[in-house]
Structure 1
Amino acid sequence: MKVFLKKDIKNRIKNGHPWIYENEIERIEGIPENGGIVDVFNHEKSFLGKGYINFNSKIRVRILTRKAETIGKNFIKKRFLEALERRHTKEKSFRVIFSEADNLSGLIVDKFQDYIVLEINTLGIEKLKNHILDVIIELFNPKGIFEKSDSNSREKEGLKKYSGWIYKSGPELIPFELNDLKFFADTQGQKTGAFLDQRLNVKSLERYSKDKVCLDAFCYTGNFGMHMLLYGAKYVTFLDYSQRAIDIVNLIAKENGFKNYETIVGNAFDILKQFDKTSKYFDVVSIDPPSFAKKGSNKKSALKGYKEINLRAMRILKNHGILATSSCTQIISEEEFDNIIFSAGIDTSRITRVMHRGAQPYDHPYVLNILETKYLKFRLLEIEKIKE
């Protein structure tokens, strides 16, 4: 089956971006199976690549390769081996496949010690699922493979959400270690169960946590706070809206032998405002909220939300306190995020001194040709009052 693009296709496609939208296609020769593999050509009938097609999606074709090669098990294995070579790691827990960044648009694969959790977001990858499983089993011989395909994007692709063990079985809470700490990936929790993308950024707190009173807001299962305790924090408050997440925080703290902490279930915006009213201040505050917007139409409200939460965090920091602040909202740029922090500092009469800039780790690579692969922004700041 052949897909021919319009004459004036955008440079985005020619320069390596894998997405082809419905309005960029001139014609289709043959009747391809929905989710099946098609050859893609430009207006002059020059071969551009091969990918899968989905008539349910505005992203009509996602290119998997720029070569005239067969898309099957050997191809999938090649992509996995390329990704492993790219990571070149001896870590036991890391992201194996990061969708477009590893030339497998629609697939996420995380390795937690001896278990694999995968997320399939597109019909085309669903059609290749058996090949993917065969390759994972061959390369990793895992104790179990859990599929966590429950994102809303599946519905747009014409797929039902699914969550469950698809190879052997394992615990509901998958144990793994990170930076000398014991954690659990929650198969009933967010995304693939645990976030691996902040594990290098949290290390920047090592020199600032000892003997400090700390807050981990939007903590989920406590990544930042557990590291603060590891680095010698005097006391840590964990805050999240999810009771289940806080229950797992308690379990992780017990596994690591930590006792000098407390947990709060509630809305971080409200709780931080309450801390300010009651003059409860911290030496170190981490805020790592979920994405505030997926679509450009929601960007304005996302910018407002980030400013508000950073402003409230600054207000409850002691003078010269440390703020670890993050954004995983892809549509907000680095410059916009810095401007948000600057603006919050101005409104609270604070100087915001950048001590460390962080982003995605090596196993979450981003491709400059594919803007959508770059999402994580991290800043470690010293917050100083302009006037005492």
Structure 2
Amino acid sequence: MKVYLKKNIKNRVKNGHPWIYENEIEHIDGTPQNGEVVSVFNHEKHFVGKGYINFNSKIRVRILTRLNEEIDKSFFEKRIKEALFRRNPKEKSFRIIFSEADNLPGIIADKFGDYIVIEINTLGMEKFKNEILDILINTFSPKGIFEKSESTSRVKEGLQKHVGWIYKSGPELIPYKVNDILFFADTLGQKTGAFLDQRFNALSLKNYSKDAICLDAFCYTGNFGMHMLKFGAKHVTFLDYSERAIEVVNITAKKNNFKNYDTIIGNAFDILKSYDNNSKIFDIISIDPPAFAKNANSKANAKRGYKEINLRAMKILKNNGLLATSSCTQVITEEDFKNIIFSAAVDAGKLARVLFRGDQPYDHPYVLNILETKYLKFLLLQLENMKGV
């Protein structure tokens, strides 16, 4: 089947972006089925690439390759081999496949120690699930593979949600180690169960955590707080709205023999506001919230949310305290984020000194041609009072 694009297609497609929207298509030869692989041509009938089509999606075609090659098991073997070349083979826990960033739109696969968790979000990739599973099994010999395909985009693609073990079996909480700390990926939790993208950014706290009083807000399963405890923190407070997340935090702390901590279940905005702003409580605060915006229409609200939560954190930091602050909202750019933090610091009467600027790790690569693959921003700041103490 052949798909022909309109004459005035955007440079985004010409320059390597894999998404082709409905309004960019001039006509289609034949009647392809949803999820079927099609060949894409420009208006001059020059070959553009091959991808899978879905009439249920506004993203009508997602390009898999710019070469005129067969899309079969050997194709996916090549793609996964290419992805692994970009990874560190010495690590036991990392993201194997990062969707568009690894030329495999619609699938994410995370390796947690001896187990793998996959998330499939598109019909086109669903049709190749068995081939991909075979490759993952042959490559890694995992003890089990868990599928956690429950995103809203999957429903839009005409697929039912699917959560469960699809190869052998394993525990509800999957153990894995990062930076010599035992963590757990929660099969009942968010996304693939744990977030691997901040494991290097957390190391930036190593030289500052000893004897510190710390807060890990939006902690989920406790990445930053566990690192601070590992690095010698005097006390860490874990804060999250999810009872389940705090349950996992308690299990994780116990397994690592960490004792000097407490937990709070609640809304981080409300909890931070409830502290007496005249009492500077914490030496270090980590803020790692979920995405405050999914699209450009909610960008303004996201900016307000980021400023407010960072301002509240700054107000309860001791003089020269540290703020480890993050944004995983793709529509908020690095420049946006820096400006938001600057504005919050000015309102708090603080001088914001950048000690470390973090990014996505190599197993979460971003492609300059595909803006959507760049999402994570991280800053470690020292906040100095501009007036008084």
Aligned equivalents of 2:276 and 2:156: distance in 1? 42
Q: Please state how far the C-alpha of 1:17 moved relative to its aligned partner.
A: 0.5
Question: How big is the shift at 1:88?
Answer: 3.6
Post-superposition CA distance 1:208-261 (Å, at most 9, x none): 100000000000010000000000000000000001100110000000000000
Match of 1:245 in 2: 245
Which whole-Å deviations, capped at 9, do the CAs of 1:302-354 have from their partners, x for residues lacking one? 11000000000000100000000000000000000000000001111111111
Count matched residues: 388
Secondary structure of the residue aligned to 1:133 is helix
CA distance in 2 between counterparts of 1:301 and 1:156 reads 25
C-alpha separation between the residues in 2 aligned to 1:276 and 1:122?
A: 48
What aligned pairs does 1:214-363 form with structure 2 within 5 A after superposition?
A: 214-277=214-277, 279=279, 281-363=281-363
Match of 1:380 in 2: 380
Separation (CA, whole Å) in 2 of partners of 1:17 and 1:299: 22
Distance 2:17 2:90 in 1: 30
Which one-letter code corresponds to 1:364 in the other structure? Answer: H
**Displacement, 1:277?**
4.8
Moved over 4 A (4+): none
Distance, in Å, in 2 between the alignment partners of 1:183 and 1:190 is: 15
Deviation string, structure 1 residues 42-64 (Cα, Å, up to 9, x no partner): 00000010000000000000000
- The SS at the match of 1:219 is coil
Instruction: Tell me the distance in 2 between the aligned counterparts of 1:192 and 1:337.
Output: 26
Q: Structure 1: how far apart are the matches of 2:375 and 2:253?
A: 29
1:255 is aligned with what amino acid?
Answer: K
Alignment-derived partner of residue 211 in structure 2:
211
Does 2:86 match 1:92? no
Whether the 8 Å contact between 2:34 and 2:53 is mirrored in structure 1 is: yes
Percent same amino acid at aligned positions?
Answer: 72
User: For each residue in 1:161-194, what CA deviation from the matched residue of structure 2 results, as whole angstroms up to 9, or x when unmatched?
Assistant: 1111111110000000000000000000011000
State the distance in 1 between where 2:103 and 2:277 align: 50
Residue identity matched to 1:151: S
1:278 positional shift? 7.4
Aligned counterpart, 1:3: 3
Deviations 1:345-371 (A, max 9, x none): 111111111111001000000000000
* 2:147 match: 147
Root-mean-square deviation (CA, aligned residues, Å) is 0.8
Task: Tell me the residue number matched to 2:193.
Answer: 193
Give distance in 2, aligned partners of 1:224 and 1:88. 22
| 2:22 is aligned with 1:16 | no
Q: 1-side partners of 2:257 and 2:105: how far apart? A: 41
Partner of 2:137: 137
Please say which of residues 194-203 and 152-161 is displaced more in the overlay. Answer: 152-161
The amino acid across from 1:327 in the alignment is S
Deviations 1:116-141 (A, max 9, x none): 00000111001111111111111111
TM-score by length of 1: 0.99
CA distance in 2: counterparts of 1:215 and 1:322, whole angstroms: 11
Structure 1 unaligned regions, length at least 5: none
**8 A contact 2:280–2:318 mirrored in 1:** no
What residue ranges of structure 2 are gaps of 5+ in the alignment?
none
Mapping of residues 94-173 of structure 1, within 5 Å: 94-173=94-173
